[in-house]
């Protein structure tokens, strides 16, 4: 079974600075998708960014970008120019047939 590991239960960043959240996964498959989801206190799950495993180019969405290292099975999320609204739980997820999530990283943004 696939596993997703987020080794940082909590992270903190100063407003306007950059922070990187780590994620590793374990799989024997070659074709899959990776995701980062954000969950603010409202409990809503919001897609931040998506990466297809067959694409070598790292995905970017405005201030959010990933560092996808397929051989190392690593998928980190970089948030640039952090804003107060970025404070939330962040979940890394892996999808092949089903979708598995990591335990999450709570991000605090300091003004």
Partner 1 sequence: NAGVTQTPKFQVLKTGQSMTLQCAQDMNHNSMYWYRQDPGMGLRLIYYSASEGTTDKGEVPNGYNVSRLNKREFSLRLESAAPSQTSVYFCASRGTGTNTGELFFGEGSRLTVL
Q: Which stretch binds partner 1 (CB under 8 A): 59-67, 69-77, 80-88, 90-98?
A: 90-98
Q: What backbone phi and psi angles, to 5 degrees, belong to 103?
A: -75, -15
Is residue 60 close enough to count as binding partner 1 by CB under 8 A? no
**Interacting residue with partner 1 among 14, 40, 45, 84 (CB under 8 A):** 45
d(CA 78, CA 42): 23
Is residue 62 close enough to count as binding partner 1 by CB under 8 A? no
Q: With contacts defined by CB under 8 A, how many residues of the chain interact with partner 1? A: 23
Where do we find the tokens 């407003």?
A: 15
Alpha-carbon Rg for the chain in angstroms: 13
Nearer to partner 1 by Cβ, of 15 and 29: the residue is: 29
Is residue 71 close enough to count as binding partner 1 by CB under 8 A? no
Q: Which stretch binds partner 1 (CB under 8 A): 11-19, 59-67, 80-88, 101-109?
A: 101-109
d(CA 4, CA 111): 31
Number of H helices, E strands in the chain: 0, 12
């Amino acid at each position: 079974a696939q596993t997703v590991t987020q080794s940082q239960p909590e992270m903190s960043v100063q407003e306007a600075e950059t922070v990187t959240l780590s994620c590793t996964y374990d799989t024997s498959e070659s074709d899959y998708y990776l995701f980062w989801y954000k969950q603010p206190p409202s409990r809503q799950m919001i897609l931040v960014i998506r990466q297809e495993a067959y694409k070598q180019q790292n995905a970017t969405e405005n201030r959010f970008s990933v560092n996808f290292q397929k051989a190392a099975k690593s998928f980190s999320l970089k948030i640039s120019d952090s804003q107060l609204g970025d404070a939330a739980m962040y979940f890394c997820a892996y999808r092949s047939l089903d979708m598995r999530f990591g335990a999450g990283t709570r991000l605090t943004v300091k003004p």
